[in-house]
Structure 1
Amino acid sequence: MILALLSFTATQVQAFELFGWKFFESSEEEQEAVPDPLPYEAEISVSAGEEETTSELKSASILVQEQSKPPSGEAGLLSRALSDRERLVAKLYSDGRYGGTVDISLNGLPLETALEQSDLPDARPVKVNILINPGPAFTFGKVSVSSKGGDLSTDPAFWGLTGGDVAASGKILTAENRILSILRGRGYPKARIAERRITADHSSKRLDVTLLADAGPQARFGRVSVNGTKVTDPDFVVQQAMLPEGGIYSPEDLARARKRLNELGIFSSIRLVEGEIEGPDGSLPITIEVSERKRHVIGAGASWSSTEGFGVEAYWRRRNLFGRGELLSIDGSVGRLGNESLADLEYSARIAFEKPGVFGPLTSFSTSLGAKQENPDAYKSRSITFDAYLNHQFGETLKGRAGAEVYYANEDDVFGEADYLLAGLPAELTFDNRDDLLNPSKGIFAALFMEPAYDTLNSNAMGFVKGTVSSYFALDDSKRFILAGKATAGSIFAPSVEAIPASRRYIAGGGGSIRGYAYRNVGPRVDGEVTGGRSIIELSGEVRIQVTETIGVVGFVDAGNAYEDSFPDFSEGLKVGVGGGLRYFTPIGPLRIDAAVPLDPEKDDPDFALYVGLSQAF
């Protein structure tokens, strides 16, 4: 289950803050922050025949949208009115209306007169009237696009400026941004719009546009320097940025460099500052300006479900241990609180070390030592694990790792008590192009895990294989209706189920598997007790609907089962759980509350189950 991380900050005696929102804060407290608040009432009037634009203009108006938040005195109201007039004129331009007018009066006094007098009539609240005549929509007339260098297309249609189309100002700005983006992408970092000539012919309602770009000189990446480091080795920063000195300038290379540096987790801010082009080869020096984060981090989290009880975790981390991005972390957790006696709780402790930039910027080394006790209904396991991995980033969306693992476990299950000592060579490949890790609306996540292993205590060879794929599809442009699906399959190749440690066998059920069923309680049974199996199938589907900006609802179906053989024989049908949930969207991800019902419960399965966590279920 994903842990829900909660943070509370006291703000007042009767107010508190959660996820950045303040609760139980009175309106009087909010208004006290504005000195001399001046109340007003704003109303928009649109000329006859143009009433269909009223709602859009109201949405664009600061005076209308912010009238519940009075400005500070008459000067504040006049300033707001000036800004509003500019916004409303810009809104008309964005609709291609270049002959429109916006007139604002305050207590019957025109805005220009009020600015000259710096005084308003005494009536309160101030009556603000906004009279708008949108005027006719203009269309593009003659359009010319050219450039000095860079070999750009001169076809106006290529830039979205087709003659006869509505001459929305946003189309011109979009065309300019595309021009500069293409030129920069071709190695011209100093590209600019040298000339913008726009002529509105009010008699023909046409807008003529002339755009002239100046590409400037083509550049190559020059010397890379670093500012702002205190603990971090500057040479390490340059290495991880991987900017190709001598290579043609590329905004994509800069974006990838910023992403790699950000993923180190040691900087709170990163800026890549471009210098001036130097020398006959067009060398462009780059300065990486960084601000280092605090090196010590502590945190805590909690989760709950009706079948697994409460779980708590805490961690301590030391960033940038030796000045080259190293991370030392210590984690601990306790689970099934309230469901078990103290001796039968689930707990874990782990110490881990990570070092980026070994064998090149895209490869890191990680190692960990951990101990845990697991106590689902099917078994009780006490284990110690030591592992070491090389991790490599193959591309923007593809990464992998491979290493070695030693795993010792002492376990009690339906087969009795047994000890295992596995030596394995695990490897994993992950593809991830989701648009959001905690609340994805599009993309695919896929992972494939494989590990050959040998039990040195019992002289058994075995192999583990498991793959999972999840995909997301938005049904509308605003991404309020999303379909999400997930499929998981795995096999273990071993002489028998009993030869595999119970904690490594495939058992389904629980919050991260088939919701509604007890945690790790779905699979082959002996005398009514779950043994686990050598293969597994899990399927999940969700319909996610965002009702408001902060509230969402979800309906879901989970299905799956584990089987005794290394390949599913489907001797037992899939177990199905159905349910629904609420989502509360916070700045750090959706807070999830799910309720699920098992359609075919067995021994130890509940009538229904509740789950609370942070982020979507998958």
Structure 2
Amino acid sequence: MKLKPEYRLGAVILTTLVMSTASPAAEKDKKEAEESPVKVSIQGAEPSLADNLRAYLPSLRNLKCESPAERIERYIVSAQPKLTKGAEAMGYFAAKFEMNSARQSNCWAFNIVVEPGPTVTVAKSNIRITGEGAKLEDFVQIASNPPYVTDEVLVTQKYEDFKTSLTRAASRLGYFDAEFVEREIQVNIDAGQAVVNLHFETGKRYQFGQVDVEQDVLASKYLKRYLRVEAGKDYDSDELLRQQRLLENSGYYSDVQISSNYQNVENNRVPVEIKTLRNKRYAYTGKLAYASDDGFTIEGGMNARWVNDKGHKLDTALLYTQSGYLKTGFKYIVPLWEPEHEYAGVDVSWIKSKDTIDFEGIPLATYLDQRKLEFNYNRRTESDWQQTAFISFFEEKFRLVIDGESIPDNTQLTLLGVRASKTKATDPLYPERGWRFSGELKGAHKSVLSDDTLMQTRLDAKYLHTFDNQAKVIARGALGATWVEQDSLMPQSLGFTTGGQDSVRGFDSNTLGELDEYGEVTGAKNLIVTSLEYEYPVTEKVSAAVFADAGSAFNDWGDYKLNVGAGVGVRYKSPLGPVRLDLAVPKDDTKDLHFYFSLGPDL
């Protein structure tokens, strides 16, 4: 069957078009063609035009190999105006088409021969925006980027996209009466030129009206701290979105729905309704890890998302290792005036540990009992840096028992300091790229409720990058330094040690540091740690890893030795995050094998 070319009116004709074209992706699901056995070939059109013509064709979904000839003929007739629109959308207003059907391999096939003709270019664009919002930055920015420049091919999608950007901006900013006073494209086919006329009137801007909030967690006085949408403010749908995120991120609510009640607009004010569903009040966390030196490590925690109607929060935590290390405590959080950015906190912690060794045939045991009370102020900057200023009251009781004789060493400090940290990652659980940085500076002076005068700083960083083949490299490092007054002592628990799963693998946990007269590792003044790891995917969920770590804790920057460990590992992508299994040995003793297990995100 054959449809003869349909020739458009000749002569000099000025056609006025009110366009309503859509992008090929929106106009038609490209998968439709794949769902029909009937094939379509297009000849004589450059690739972008051919793709657009194919997108504008009527659906092939209902055409089958056994479809009767009459059905095929009706399809060809219906395709002609669609092809014309598809060509005009690309600037070809004089295109001609010849569409044939034939039987091939026991099925129908269409062949479309295209004579595209010359394209129409834009001779002039008359773009006007008037009304109260005309000088608003959003509309000025849109107007400064018109859809066409002079002599550009008239691809009508650009015209439609420009109109859409205007209507979306008007809707977002509350210009609900905005309208197109004029919208047309005048095309002179014989001259091959077009004139674009577009006049957009913004009308008046609406404001937010009464804000009603349905929630049962916070008292009204404290709820106001979380409300950013207020009656009388200019309407902006982005503000509604920010309001929703603020309430969701508070942790109090599992679902937040915000709607504008357009039906009840009064005096250009749009009422706002906020409906919330309270979250579960308590959340629990847990982590299990294993290292060959410490045995199993168990971490657990409980988070009370709110303690009272003021929105106060409580976090409790417990960490216990099979080797006898216990750390427990809680953090009480008080949201402040801008709770999304700042809060005050009280941290209480207690650490208790015991270690025993045999020193030249003499039994030796160390006992540590540390208590800390900290008051802190925390704020998050617009660039997502978490900043903390704190004052910490620190008491440490250290006791050394040698062959039954006890030697105590008690320390009390009042530390003032600051912390800063930031994590940037493409995904919180399985990031492909990202980094993490944290730093702390703190100090104490004998004149302020302290036994010693000292200052200490520490920096930690981690970087992750994933290559195109999904291989991954992870680099991390740490630096620490302490200044202690000449007649002061370094408190045991403030000193640096390293070695173990999160520092230098191939060594027992915290066994790298300065040694005392009994051969026991004590806290050192300075710290340096580096690590480089490479992961290569074996399957979709399993990767193999190789790594090398180096580090040391020491007192003199001019005299230290880096301890090096290396090993191999396996990574498994579980629903809870990466599961890591590592085997590592120290460089100087490759028979000393250490095993590590952990679960959690890379950053």
Q: TM-score range by the shorter chain?
A: 0.5 to 0.7
Helix, strand or coil: the match of 1:460?
A: coil
Mapping of residues 538-617 of structure 1, within 5 Å: 538-544=529-535, 550-565=541-556, 568-569=557-558, 571-600=559-588, 606-616=592-602
Q: Please give the alpha-carbon distance, in whole angstroms, between the structure 2 residues aligned to 1:497 and 1:561.
A: 25
* Pair 1:209–1:134, CA change in 2 (3 A): farther
Q: Please give the alpha-carbon distance, in whole angstroms, between the structure 1 residues aligned to 2:319 and 2:506.
A: 24
Q: Please give the alpha-carbon distance, in whole angstroms, between the structure 1 residues aligned to 2:401 and 2:485.
A: 18
Q: Tell me which amino acid in the other structure corresponds to 1:353.
A: Y
Give yes or no for the alignment of 1:419 onto 2:410: yes
Deviation sequence 1:3-25 (CA, Å, 0-9, x none): xxxxxxxxxxxxxxxxxxxxxxx
- How far residue 316 of structure 1 moved from its aligned partner, in angstroms, is 3.1
Contact 1:419 1:457 in 2 (8 A): no
Contact 2:464 2:472 in 1 (8 A): yes
- How far residue 420 of structure 1 moved from its aligned partner, in angstroms, is 2.0
Helix, strand or coil: the match of 1:262?
A: helix
Q: 1:485 corresponds to which residue?
A: 475
What is the number of residues matched between the two proteins?
A: 505
Q: Please give the alpha-carbon distance, in whole angstroms, between the structure 2 residues aligned to 1:177 and 1:599.
A: 64
- How far residue 391 of structure 1 moved from its aligned partner, in angstroms, is 1.6
Q: 2:308 corresponds to which residue?
A: 322
Which of 454, 467, 470 does residue 459 from structure 2 map onto? 467
Which of 439, 448, 462 does residue 439 from structure 2 map onto? 448
Deviation sequence 1:434-464 (CA, Å, 0-9, x none): 3334433445433221222257998212222
Contact 2:581 2:595 in 1 (8 A): no
Give yes or no for the alignment of 1:366 onto 2:323: no
Helix, strand or coil: the match of 1:511?
A: coil
Q: Tell me which amino acid in the other structure corresponds to 1:480.
A: Q
Contact 1:105 1:130 in 2 (8 A): no
Q: Please give the alpha-carbon distance, in whole angstroms, between the structure 2 residues aligned to 1:193 and 1:512.
A: 61
Q: 1:355 corresponds to which residue?
A: 334
**Worse-superposed segment, 312-321 or 513-522:** 312-321
Contact 1:96 1:168 in 2 (8 A): no
Q: Please give the alpha-carbon distance, in whole angstroms, between the structure 2 residues aligned to 1:552 and 1:141.
A: 56
Helix, strand or coil: the match of 1:103?
A: coil
Contact 1:160 1:175 in 2 (8 A): no
Helix, strand or coil: the match of 1:258?
A: helix
Deviation sequence 1:85-125 (CA, Å, 0-9, x none): xxxxxxx9995343556634799555999xxxxxxxxxxxx
Which of 479, 501, 516 does residue 491 from structure 2 map onto? 501
Contact 1:578 1:598 in 2 (8 A): yes
Deviation sequence 1:232-255 (CA, Å, 0-9, x none): 334433322334665544455444
Contact 1:452 1:462 in 2 (8 A): yes
Overall identity of the aligned pairs, in %:
18
Higher Cα Rg: structure 1 or 2? 2
Q: TM-score, normalised by structure 1?
A: 0.65
Give yes or no for the alignment of 1:103 onto 2:60: yes
Contact 2:36 2:60 in 1 (8 A): no
Contact 2:65 2:108 in 1 (8 A): no
Give yes or no for the alignment of 1:401 onto 2:371: no
* Pair 1:60–1:372, CA change in 2 (3 A): farther
**Worse-superposed segment, 488-497 or 129-138:** 129-138
Mapping of residues 299-338 of structure 1, within 5 Å: 299-335=285-321, 337=322
Which of 362, 365, 379 does residue 392 from structure 1 map onto? 379
* Pair 1:99–1:251, CA change in 2 (3 A): closer
Q: Please give the alpha-carbon distance, in whole angstroms, between the structure 2 residues aligned to 1:159 and 1:587.
A: 49
Deviation sequence 1:537-581 (CA, Å, 0-9, x none): 22233445566654445444333222214xx33x22333333444
Deviation sequence 1:242-277 (CA, Å, 0-9, x none): 346655444554444333322321111123323449
Gaps of 5+ in 1: 1-58, 65-79, 83-91, 114-128, 201-205
- How far residue 371 of structure 1 moved from its aligned partner, in angstroms, is 1.8
Q: 1:75 corresponds to which residue?
A: none
Q: 1:535 corresponds to which residue?
A: 526
- How far residue 222 of structure 1 moved from its aligned partner, in angstroms, is 4.7
Deviation sequence 1:301-333 (CA, Å, 0-9, x none): 322233332122333333322123222233323
Q: 1:410 corresponds to which residue?
A: 397
* Pair 1:396–1:410, CA change in 2 (3 A): same
Q: Tell me which amino acid in the other structure corresponds to 1:592.
A: R
Contact 1:100 1:133 in 2 (8 A): no
Mapping of residues 265-304 of structure 1, within 5 Å: 265-276=251-262, 283-304=269-290
Deviation sequence 1:500-528 (CA, Å, 0-9, x none): 23222111122221233221122223464
Contact 2:229 2:239 in 1 (8 A): yes
Contact 1:544 1:552 in 2 (8 A): yes
Q: 1:11 corresponds to which residue?
A: none
- Indicate the RMSD between aligned Cα atoms, in angstroms: 5.1
Q: 1:87 corresponds to which residue?
A: none
Q: Tell me which amino acid in the other structure corresponds to 1:516.
A: G
